[in-house]
Amino acid sequence: GTHGNWTCFRANCGWKGYTQPDGVPKAYQAKKDSGNENESDQEVKANQPVKVIRKLREEDLRLEPLCDELVTYFSERMISAKTLRRNNVSQRKRNNKIVIAFTYRRDKVLVGCKYREVSKKFSQEANTEKILYGLDDIKQARDIIIVEGEIDKLSMEEAGYCNCVSVPDGAPAQVSNKLPDKDHDKKYSYLWNCKEYLDPASRIILATDADPPGQALAEELARRLGKERCWRVKWPKKNETEFCKDANEVLMFLGPRALKEVIEGAELYPIRGLFNFKDFFPEIDSYYLGIHGDELGIPTGWKCMDGLYKVVPGELTIVTGVPNSGKSEWIDALLCNINNQCGWKFVLCSMENKVRDHARKLLEKHIKKPFFDA
């Protein structure tokens, strides 16, 4: 024949293609639920295979209930056995080690699994769909909490918040320069995969870690979810010098009540051009006490006038009067007084004086003596 065909019959893979004598292979990923093969096949280059999403089965993972040692490990982090059971936290022997298994589910169906060693080394099942951890807990929820790790999600439950999910892949090093479109947003594909769960929420509290990557994650999430419905938390101090880094640290050092207060005290996510009135309270107090700056004006140098007029930065003052009534002389005297009191410097534009004559007048007012001997 003129070409050779191949087809993968494994489950719902649909990977197929052909090669021709010219050596240029073609490959296709068949779309599901389509009656017309020619219209449904999407051509791709053979050296860029389409990623096939694995369908996990409970029995294949060989998960086991947590042993006493791991239950104790969670207990030390203030996570109860009841919370562990409700969230299907399990264990598995992997690479000759017992690891914690966090199962990712949608509608109670296993979608993915992430493993954690006690030493905080992570791994996960390859080629599975990216979704949020605890996704079923936010179905139709109006308020949602998003945290950075599975243990933080469990910590929120200990504080009474089940409407919480965790991102699957941690935080980025920094905020990206450009927001990619949906098809190229691979790092945050879990948001698009869980869109139907996130869309009904009117308030999303971002409780990511306090470190720079955690704050970068909050910004990336807010950009995609809509800053107008996002809120953020402020982590409290755990001692005299240090702040808590995340939800689990608050739970461990301060207790569930303190963690609940953190969520109750969440603030609107900053939006450029919008401000919270309470952010200005210190400035308003200083303004009232007259210690904020020169907004209340500075003295003119004449006590009899200060009750009527003071010089305020940013204000325009126009001095009027009949000719030869001393307007320019008074302004020169005012400038000298302010320079002497506050050290202000001025730019002068005088249409009626030569520079030397104007300098003479200013010097006389500054030293309070005539320029020439009488």
Q: CATH number of the domain at 58-268, please? A: 3.40.1360.10
Which pLDDT does position 43 carry in this prediction?
47
> Which band of pLDDT confidence, cut at 50, 70 and 90, is reported for residue 296?
confident
Q: Which of 7-21, 144-158, 258-272, 292-306 has the lowest mean pLDDT?
A: 7-21
What is the mean predicted confidence (pLDDT) over 79-101? 92
Q: Which of 129-133, 153-157, 295-299 has the lowest mean pLDDT?
A: 295-299
> Which band of pLDDT confidence, cut at 50, 70 and 90, is reported for residue 220?
very high
- Report CA Rg, the chain: 35
> Which band of pLDDT confidence, cut at 50, 70 and 90, is reported for residue 3?
low
Structure tokens that stand for 53 in this block: 């999403």
| pLDDT more than 70, % of the chain | 87
pLDDT digits (tens, 9 = 90+) for 98-146: 999 999 999 999 999 999 998 888 888 888 999 999 999 999 999 999 9
Which pLDDT does position 25 carry in this prediction?
52
> Which band of pLDDT confidence, cut at 50, 70 and 90, is reported for residue 12?
low
Q: Which of 12-26, 193-207, 273-287, 301-315 has the lowest mean pLDDT?
A: 12-26
Which pLDDT does position 52 carry in this prediction?
79
Which pLDDT does position 44 carry in this prediction?
46
Asked if residue 51 has pLDDT above 90, the reply is: no
Asked if residue 208 has pLDDT above 70, the reply is: yes
Structure tokens that stand for 175 in this block: 């905020």
Which pLDDT does position 284 carry in this prediction?
84
What is the mean predicted confidence (pLDDT) over 289-294? 74
Asked if residue 159 has pLDDT above 90, the reply is: yes
> Which band of pLDDT confidence, cut at 50, 70 and 90, is reported for residue 40?
very low
pTM of the model: 0.65
Domain range annotation of the chain: 4-45, 58-268, 303-367
Distance CA 62, CA 73 (A): 21
Q: Which of 19-28, 125-134, 362-371 has the lowest mean pLDDT?
A: 19-28
Q: Which of 72-81, 182-191, 338-347, 365-374 has the lowest mean pLDDT?
A: 365-374
Q: Are 47 and 24 in contact (CB under 8 A)?
A: no
